[in-house]
Amino acid sequence: MRHTISLLVENKFGVLSRISGLFSGRGYNIESLSVGETIDPQISNMTVVTSGDDQIIEQINKQLNKLIDVIKVIDMTELDHVEREMVMIKVAPRQEDKAEVLRLAEIFRGRIVDSSQKTYTIEVTGNEKKIEAIIELLKPMGIKEFVRTGKIAIAREGIKKA
Amino acid sequence: MKMSGAEIFLECLKREGVKHVFGYPGGVILNIFDLLYDSKDLQLVLTRHEQGAVHAADGYARSTGKPGVVLVTSGPGATNTITGIATASMDSIPLVIFSGQVPTMLIGNDAFQEADIVGISRPCTKYNFLAKDVKELATIVREAFHIAMTGRPGPVLIDLPKDVTSAKTDFVWPEIKIRSYNPTLEGNKWMIAQAAQLISKSKKALIVAGGGVILSGASKELRELAEFNDLPVTMTLMGLGAFPGTHDLSLGMPGMHGTYYANKAIQEADLLIAVGMRFDDRVTGKIDAFAPNAKIIHIDIDPTSIRKNVRVDVPIVGDVKRVLSVLNKLMKEETKEQWTEVRKSWLRQMEAWKKERPMTYTYSEDVIKPQFVVEKIFELTKGDAIISTEVGQNQMWAAQFYKFDKPRMWLTSGGLGTMGYGFPAAIGAQFAHPNKLVIDIAGDGSIQMNIQELATATINKLPVKVAILNNRYLGMVRQWQELFYNERYSHTHLEVVPDFVKVAEAYGAVGLRATKPSEVEPVLKEAFKIKKTVFMDFVIDWKEKVYPMVPAGAPIDQMLFEEKPEKTEKKLKAVK
């Protein structure tokens, strides 16, 4: 099963290679990884998407916790949480498809962030399903390339009923 | 007062209580070596290879419980330490390794003797540092010692660029706090209570003790648990000495070359109390068939050891010594009468298995049996010696036929299985225990992997003894070829083995040789009398194999035993 694991780590050089080294050294898979600073500049947040059976996921969580630069490990999959990913897709449509490309961008609440005589670059944010859907729909129109940020995730806060 | 990085290094080591540093000089580490030239606080032990330095520091650490310290230069000096570091890492041995590095402004430029040792050593250290600023140096050194020694111990490396050792700053002995590093020491009370209940209810319980008992200094608590509850104890290779090998409750070692009775007991048990061990494949054999009837209580300081290889019913993360003392208290509250008879009958079963298949070998009057040499060493030292080993048959015979009664007297590379470990480790242990008898039980293959350390031993007038079980083969691999590869001895016959007596003499050590069983005892006695480094060349039966043996991947009760030679069988020696 797939798990999204959120890590708080010391913002030091070499930490990323400790994390990725743990995964490669023990034969675990990283499906996506994104890193950024947190509100405390000494701490970074990493979101890792990985997969494995329960025993492997338990080991991954424990091994991550054991790394000295890791402050906190949260398995988001076990919590109510919001996941987002961003993609930038460069499409080179035929003249007759241009309108459809723009229409799709609008349906997916994407934005055109760059355009040229032959191409549009569309930025779309959403969960994984949404990102995959727009990629599928744009494929027949002629995707030149796309880049994805990898997933980020944050826990939802509970709401008190009024 | 301003101090240079090199001076800070020395001051920090002094404050950490370090007396011996094992190392080898080179260009970028000269600022420190220059200070060592007239240091009164620190003795630098010059080995003849950086790998030897790390193993020596490792032997020092295992035999004392203090961290071993290593100092080497950059590039090849640093990369040569890797095998030693990985050895220590696999066996959870606390080391602090200082490597020189090219000046910070040259890092990444492929400078002369530059190696990315922080990158290279990352997977085999517990943690590592690149000291980029002399102001951080004291904190880094303190953190390194703290990390190496606490939690599950392990090696920590500090990379020291040359400009950092020459730069000056005010020295402050810092307080340290690593917010992301807080090993769990106290076991969960509720879990320990569960364990106590399981133990009281069990009918066929067994303790499996590992190296964690020794690292935690919990031998006394372990013995109390075993004796109070009449529990038999088996010790893994790393756990030998955690519980007295001569004790009635001892079953010796389990696993691939373990005793028949230890493996039988594991397979029959209804409860395993695993203490400070990690269910290595050499212990479990085929994992699905391991301890099929047993519930498992697993006590370990490292949460990742728990449920890594086997299912566990009661996991207890914590320091073994602390957990066992709580558990012992709880056991005293349990009513003992109910299970005394049940326990006695389980212990009688142990005795029956011990009689059925004791640890034996077939003695010969014509040719030296390696087990006989190990037995004689045990007999003559009365167990009061520090024993190191190389890796292979020599290691297994030593583990099987020498009875370890005390912790920290047994130095062997368990996890990584490093040939060439034993001799430098013995040298390190001898520095820590100048008046103790230290013996490396070696093979003719392994000893050649770090034989250059003869110079370190003789120059420092160390009375280290090396007993070479010389069969002219890489015996353990040869044994596998004989049993599992149709006797195709691909590259295991060493053909030319040096004259070890002459090699010893060339270095200024003493060389002795025994070719007949009757010569074994006189050679050992003479060697133990001489206050010098001694190589003993025991020319042994090259056909001898290590038995019992569980083929790799088989359940541990499917053991191969020595086939008794029919009529030539002279006498079967049972070892108590």
- Residue B126: list chain A partners with CB under 8 A: 68
Does the pLDDT at position B335 exceed 80? no
- Residue contact A10–B180, C-beta within 8 A: yes
List, in sequence order, every beta strand (DSSP E) within B325-408. Answer: 360-363, 386-389
Q: Does A159 reside within a domain?
A: no
Active-site option among B2, B105, B112, B351: B112
| Residues of B (135-174) whose Cβ lies below 8 Å from A | 147
CATH number assigned to the domain comprising residue A17: 3.30.70.260
Does the pLDDT at position B573 exceed 60? no
- Residues A17, A86: contact at Cβ < 8 Å? no
User: Annotated catalytic, B98?
Assistant: no
User: Annotated catalytic, B338?
Assistant: no
Q: Does A160 reside within a domain?
A: no
pTM (2 d.p.)? 0.94
Same domain for A38 and A6: yes
CA distance A21 to A15: 10
Per-residue confidence (pLDDT) for residue B565, from 0 to 100: 53
Same domain for A109 and A143: yes
A157: buried, middle or exposed (CB in 10 Å: 19+, 13-18, 0-12)? exposed
- Residue A7: list chain B partners with CB under 8 A: none
User: Diameter of chain B by CA atoms?
Assistant: 81
Interface check A40 vs B, CB under 8 A: no
Alpha-carbon distance B183 to nearest alpha carbon in chain A (angstroms): 9
Same domain for A16 and A59: yes
Q: Does A143 reside within a domain?
A: yes
Same domain for A149 and A102: yes
User: Distance between terminal CA atoms of chain A?
Assistant: 37
CA distance A68 to B48: 33
In chain B, residues under CATH classification 3.40.50.970 are 2-170, 360-547
Does the pLDDT at position B337 exceed 90? no
Q: Does A148 reside within a domain?
A: yes
In the structure, what pLDDT confidence band is assigned to residue B197 with cuts at 50, 70 and 90? very high
CA distance B185 to B321: 9
- Residues B143, B133: contact at Cβ < 8 Å? no
Same domain for A6 and A75: yes
Residue of B149, B180, B305 for testing the chain A interface, max A β-carbons within 10 Å: B180
- Residues B342, B203: contact at Cβ < 8 Å? yes
Tens of pLDDT, residues B179-188: 999 999 999 9
Dihedral sign of CA atoms A138, A142, A146, A150 in order: positive
In the structure, what pLDDT confidence band is assigned to residue A160 with cuts at 50, 70 and 90? confident
Last residue in a domain, options A60, A79, A98: A79
**B405: enclosing H helix or E strand:** none
Three-class DSSP category at B253: coil
CA distance B265 to A78: 40
- Residue contact A69–B179, C-beta within 8 A: no
Domain B2-170: CATH class, spelled out: alpha beta
CA distance B251 to B234: 5
- Total domains in the fold of chain A: 2
Tokens of B381: 């030292």
The number of residues in chain B equals 576
Cis preceding-peptide flag for B548 (omega within 30 of 0): yes
CATH number assigned to the domain comprising residue A97: 3.30.70.1150
In the structure, what pLDDT confidence band is assigned to residue B570 with cuts at 50, 70 and 90? very low
Per-residue confidence (pLDDT) for residue B574, from 0 to 100: 38
Same domain for A62 and A13: yes
CA distance B298 to B318: 10
**Taking residues A71-88, what's their average pLDDT?**
95
Last residue in a domain, options A79, A96, A117: A79
Per-residue confidence (pLDDT) for residue A159, from 0 to 100: 85
The CATH fold of domain B360-547: Rossmann fold (3.40.50)
Per-residue confidence (pLDDT) for residue B1, from 0 to 100: 82
Tens of pLDDT, residues A135-154: 999 999 999 999 999 999 99
User: Annotated catalytic, B113?
Assistant: yes
Residue of A8, A62, A67 for testing the chain B interface, max B β-carbons within 10 Å: A62
Alpha-carbon distance B436 to nearest alpha carbon in chain A (angstroms): 38
User: Annotated catalytic, B112?
Assistant: yes
Which distant-in-sequence residues (6+ apart) come within 8 Å of B478 by Cβ?
A: B489, B492, B493
**Taking residues B309-323, what's their average pLDDT?**
97
Bridge-based pairing of strands A120-126 and B127-130 is unpaired
Tens of pLDDT, residues B438-447: 999 999 999 9
Same domain for A86 and A45: no
Could you tell me if residue A31 is left (phi over 0), alpha (psi between -120 and 50 degrees) or otherwise beta?
alpha
Per-residue confidence (pLDDT) for residue B479, from 0 to 100: 96
In the structure, what pLDDT confidence band is assigned to residue B338 with cuts at 50, 70 and 90? low
- Residue A21: list chain B partners with CB under 8 A: 122-123
Tens of pLDDT, residues B64-115: 999 999 999 999 999 999 999 999 999 999 999 999 999 999 999 999 999 9
- Residue B180: list chain A partners with CB under 8 A: 9-10, 68-71
Same domain for A49 and A113: no
Tokens of B561: 């035993």
Q: Does A48 reside within a domain?
A: yes
Tens of pLDDT, residues A6-54: 999 999 989 999 999 999 999 999 999 999 999 999 999 999 999 999 9
Tens of pLDDT, residues B505-534: 999 999 999 999 999 999 999 999 999 999
Least CB-CB distance to B180: which of A25, A55, A70? A70
- Residue A10: list chain B partners with CB under 8 A: 180
CA distance B502 to B506: 6
Same domain for A149 and A133: yes
Active-site option among B113, B194, B349, B452: B113
User: Annotated catalytic, B395?
Assistant: no
- Cα A5 to the center of its chain, rounded Å: 11
**B438: enclosing H helix or E strand:** strand B438-443
The share of chain B scoring above pLDDT 90, in percent, equals 94
Q: Average pLDDT over chain B, rounded to whole?
A: 95
CA distance B46 to B38: 15
In the structure, what pLDDT confidence band is assigned to residue B4 with cuts at 50, 70 and 90? very high
Interface check B108 vs A, CB under 8 A: no
Same domain for A91 and A58: no
DSSP state of A111: E
In order of B80, B85, B239, the CA distances from A54 in angstroms are 39, 32, 30
DSSP state of A27: T
Per-residue confidence (pLDDT) for residue B334, from 0 to 100: 76
- Residue A14: list chain B partners with CB under 8 A: 118, 122, 130
- Residue contact A25–B303, C-beta within 8 A: no
Alpha-carbon distance A46 to nearest alpha carbon in chain B (angstroms): 15
Half-sphere exposure of B314 (CA within 13 A, CB side): 25
Bridge-based pairing of strands B386-389 and B410-411 is parallel
Interface check A59 vs B, CB under 8 A: yes
**B179 to chain A: nearest residue by CA?**
A71
Per-residue confidence (pLDDT) for residue B513, from 0 to 100: 98
Interface check B524 vs A, CB under 8 A: no
Range of the domain at A124: 82-154
CA distance B426 to A119: 71
Interface check A25 vs B, CB under 8 A: yes
CATH, domain B189-356, list 3.40.1190.10, 3.40.50.720, 3.40.50.1220, 3.40.50.300: 3.40.50.1220
Last residue in a domain, options A53, A79, A105: A79
